[in-house]
Amino acid sequence: VGAAAAATAAAGPGGNVLNSTLERCAASLAAERSRSSPGSGALDAVERVVDKLIRNPNDETVKVLMPGVIGKVTDGSGLEFLRAIGYKPGKKPFFVYGRHDPAIVWMAKASLEKARTGFEYQMAAALDASEATAHQDASVAVAAMRQKAAVPEPTGTSLKTRIVFHLPKGGPGGGAMRIERHFAPDDALADVVHFLGTLPNHQSQESTQWELVEDTKAPPFWWCHGWKLSDITMRPPRELTREDATMTLQGLELWPSAQISLQPTGAAGGGGGGGPASAAVAAGTSRSRSKSPPAPVGGGQYLGGRPKPSELLASSMKSREREQSKHALKGATAHTRYNVKGSGTNQAQAQAHSSASAGVSSASASSGTSASDVQELVSMGFGETAVRAALQRAGGRKERAVEILLGGS
C-alpha cells in the first residue's frame, strides 16, 4: 500500500519535484554523517519521525517537534526535509505537523532508504562500527593491563630516579597537572607507560590505541600508540618511542631525574609551548644527549652500566673547566682594556672581590665544606641544602657525597 501510494504521489502534479527534493535532502543527511559533523545524527532522527508518522499519524510525540540535531545540518537540508513532509515553523524553536499525507510520508521513507544504500553512508556506518569495536577492544585491553600492578617505587636506601610527569589533564578545573614518582634506574620505559596506564581515568589520557607487544626478546609489555611521550628535561625535547620501550631509564639517560611530557598523538607536546612543560625545559640540566646502547629489562642489575660518581664528577669538572676558560679569557680581555684607562678603580674592585671571596671561604670553612665542591654538585642538578648536608656527612669527599645524593647509604 505504501509503495503504491508513493508511486501515485510521484505521478501527480509536482510529485517529481517533491521526490527530487526529498532525495536530495536525504542524500545530504547521509553525507552529513560521513563528515562526523554536529548534524551527523540527523538522518536517524528524521527516519524515526517518518516511521512514527507511518505507524500513527496522530502520535503526540511527533505532532510538535523541536528539531535538535535535525536543525544542525550544515546546509539546512534537515529542516527542508521536515517542511517537505508537512511540517511548518511554529513558535521558535518548534515545528508543527500539518495535514497528514500518507503518499508523501512513504515517499520520504523511500528517499531515506535510498540514501542509506549510498557509498558515503555505508562507509560512515562501517567506520562507526569499527570505532565502536576499537573502543570496546581498548576497554578490554586497559582492564587487562590494570590487573597487573605497576612496578613498585624504590624504598629506603635503594637507588632511584625521580620522574616528573606533565599530564594534559587531572589538575584544577580539569587542566594540566604534574605527578612525581620514583622508579628504579633499571626499570624500563615500558614500566613507565604501564604506570601511566594505571592512573585514574580523570588523570590518564584515554586512548583506544593500546597494544600488547609480545614480538620482542623482552617480556611482553603494553604500549600506547595514542600517546606522545617526550623527555623535556632539556632542550630540544626528545621523543620516546616504542623502540625505546625495553630500554632502562638509566640507558635512556632518564636518571637520576627527568621530566616527561605526555600528550595525545597529534597534539603539540614536548614542552614546545607555554605552561609547565616549558618551565621544565627552561629549568633542565645539561646532561649529554648521546644515545646509550640498548639495555635489556633487567632483574635488579644495572645492565646498562651505571656511571660511577667519579665519572659524573669528571664530566661535570670538564664542563666547568670549559666555562672557567671562557670567563678567564673574557676577564683577561676586560682587565687589559681597563688598565689602559687606569688602575685606581680596578684596584678597589680587586680588593672588594678579595674580601667577598674571603667571606665565602670562611663560610664554607665554618660548615666543613668547600665552596667549589658545593658549586660543582649544585651545577649537577642537586639542591644546595642537600649538597651541603651530603658533603658534611661524607667528610668533604665529593664521590661519597654523590653516592649519598643519589640514594646510596
Degrees (nearest 5) of the Cα angle 279, 280, 283? 90
**Residue that wins the pLDDT comparison between 170 and 111:** 111
Can you give the pTM of this predicted structure? 0.41
* DSSP class of 215: S
Q: Which of 211, 212, 256, 263 is nearest to 237 (CA)?
A: 263
Judged against a pLDDT cut of 90, whether residue 107 lies above it is answered with: yes
pLDDT at 127: 65
pLDDT digit string, tens, across residues 370-396: 788 888 777 676 778 888 888 888 888
Segments making up each domain of the chain, as ranges: 2-123, 161-282, 309-405
Encode pLDDT of 321-356 as tens digits.
Answer: 555 555 555 454 444 443 333 444 444 444 554 554
* Paired residues of 224 in beta bridges: 210
192 membership: H or E segment, kind and range: helix 189-197
- Residue with the bigger pLDDT between 52 and 392: it is 52
Q: What's the pLDDT at 277? A: 34
Q: Which residues contact 289 (CB under 8 A, 6 or more apart)?
A: 234, 238, 253
Query: What's the confidence (pLDDT) of residue 59?
Result: 92
pLDDT at 115 over 80: yes
Q: Is the pLDDT of residue 95 over 90?
A: yes
Contacts of 241 by beta carbon, 8 Å cutoff, 6+ apart: 229
Binned at pLDDT 50, 70 and 90, residue 3 comes out as very low
Q: What is the pLDDT of residue 381?
A: 64
Predicted confidence at residue 50, as pLDDT, reads 95
From the options 3.30.2130, 1.20.58, 1.25.10, 2.60.40, give the CATH code of 2-123: 1.20.58
Q: Which CATH class is domain 161-282?
A: alpha beta
Task: Summarize pLDDT for 267-299 with one digit per residue, the tens.
Answer: 443 333 333 333 333 333 333 333 343 333 333
Average pLDDT, the chain: 73
Report the pLDDT value the prediction gives residue 180, as an integer from 0 to 100.
Answer: 94
